[in-house]
Structure 1
C-alpha cells in the first residue's frame, strides 16, 4: 500500500476506534491489539500503528510498557488533567480569536448553540457542543493550538458520555454557552474568557467524584 493509502486507512481506523472509546464501547484500560485490528480492518500493521499514534495524540489511548496500547484511563487525575489543559489552552485560543470574529462566525456559534439546545439525544448534543467550542476559537490563527484542542475536546466528549451513562442524560439548554456568546457580542473578551474557563472546569467538578 502506498503512503497516502496508509494515511487514509490509519485515519479510518483511528476514527472507528475513537468512536468506540468515546461511546464507552471500549472501556478504560481495555487492550488494543495490532494484529486483531489489522485483521478487522483488513490492513497491514503500519496503518494500525499510525492510528494508535493519532489516538494517543487525542488522549484516548496510552502506550504502557510491557502492557502494550490500551484505552486511556478515566481516573480522577486524568479527568483533572484534561479539564485543566483544555481550560488553559481554549482560553488562549479564544483570547486570540475573539477580536477577529465576523458576523458570519458569530452566526456559526449561534447555530451550534441552538443545535445543542435542541438536541434530543446525547450524541446530537455532544456533536453540537463540539461545534460550538470549535466555532468559538476557529479564527485564532493558531493551527497547532487548534490541533491540540481537537484532541482535548474528544477526550472531553468521552467524559460527557461516561457521566451520562452513570447519571442519565436529558435534553437541556446550556446557559453557559449563551453567556459566553453574549460577552463576545459585547466585545467583553475578559468576561468571555472567564466564563469559558469556568464552564470547562465544571466537568472536572462533576466527573471527579464519580471517576
Structure 2
C-alpha cells in the first residue's frame, strides 16, 4: 500500500498536478486510498528520499520546490550512477539488450508529446543500464529519473531538447555496440550532465 500511494503521488508531482509548495494532508490521502496513516507516512518517507517532497517542522509535508541547484545535483548523481551501471552492464550485453536499446532509441525520434518522449527516453536509459544486474544501483537510478522527469516537464517548452538528445543516444549506442567502455560511459555521463545544465538554466529563467 505504501508503494502504491508513493507511486500515485509521485506521478501527480512529476506531471505537475501537485504544485511546488503544495501541502500534502495525511488524513486526506489516507481517506482517498482507504488506508491507515502508517502506509501514508511510509509513502512520504519514500517521496522525500526521491527529493519530491520535504517535511517541514510544524508545517507538515509539502511538494518540494523546483530549484536549479537540485536539478544540477540530480544530474550529477545520475551521471555518476548511470555511467557506473553501464560499466558493469557492457560486458554482459546480449543481442537482445542491444535490440531493446535500439528500439527505445528509435521510439524517441519524432515524438512531439513530452510525456511519450520521456517514457521512451527512460526506456532507453533503462535498456543500457539494467543489464548491470545490480538491483540497488538500478533502483537508485529509477528514483533519480522520477526527479529528472519532473524538472523536464516544468521546462521542456523552452528547450530545443529533442534533436540533440536523439543524436547523443545514437552515439552512446554506437559505442556500446563497439564495446567501447570508456567512450560509452563518457558519452552517457556528458549527455546527462548537459541535459541537467540546460534544465537548470531554463528553470532559472522562469
Match of 1:36 among 6, 25, 28: 28
> CA 1:169–1:202 in 2, change beyond 3 Å: closer, same or farther?
closer
Q: 2:200 corresponds to which residue?
A: 208
Pairing 1:109–2:101 present:
yes
Deviation of 1:167 after TM superposition, in Å, equals 2.0
Q: 2:15 corresponds to which residue?
A: 23
Q: 2:152 corresponds to which residue?
A: 160
Cα offsets for 1:84-137 (capped at 9, x unmatched): 111111111111111111100001101111111143411110011111111111
- Whether the 8 Å CA contact 1:121–1:171 is kept in 2: the answer is no
Match of 1:190 among 182, 188, 198: 182
Deviation of 1:31 after TM superposition, in Å, equals 1.3
- Whether the 8 Å CA contact 1:97–1:136 is kept in 2: the answer is yes
Deviation of 1:168 after TM superposition, in Å, equals 6.9
Q: Aligned partners of 1:74, 1:83: CA distance in 2, in Å? A: 14
> CA 1:171–1:79 in 2, change beyond 3 Å: closer, same or farther?
closer
Deviation of 1:34 after TM superposition, in Å, equals 0.5
Which structure 2 residues correspond to residues 79-94 of structure 1 after superposition, within 5 A? Answer: 79-94=71-86
Return 168-177 or 69-78, whichever deviates more. 168-177
**Which sections of structure 1, spanning at least 5 residues, go unmatched?**
1-8
**Which sections of structure 2, spanning at least 5 residues, go unmatched?**
none
* Paired positions, count: 202
- Whether the 8 Å CA contact 1:90–1:149 is kept in 2: the answer is yes
SS in structure 2 of the partner of residue 174 of structure 1: helix
Cα offsets for 1:148-191 (capped at 9, x unmatched): 10100111111111112x52788656111000000000111111
- Whether the 8 Å CA contact 1:30–1:70 is kept in 2: the answer is yes
- Whether the 8 Å CA contact 1:27–1:71 is kept in 2: the answer is yes
Q: CA RMSD in A?
A: 1.8
Runs of 4+ displaced beyond 3 Å = 168-173
Cα offsets for 1:54-90 (capped at 9, x unmatched): 2223221122223221112221211111111111111
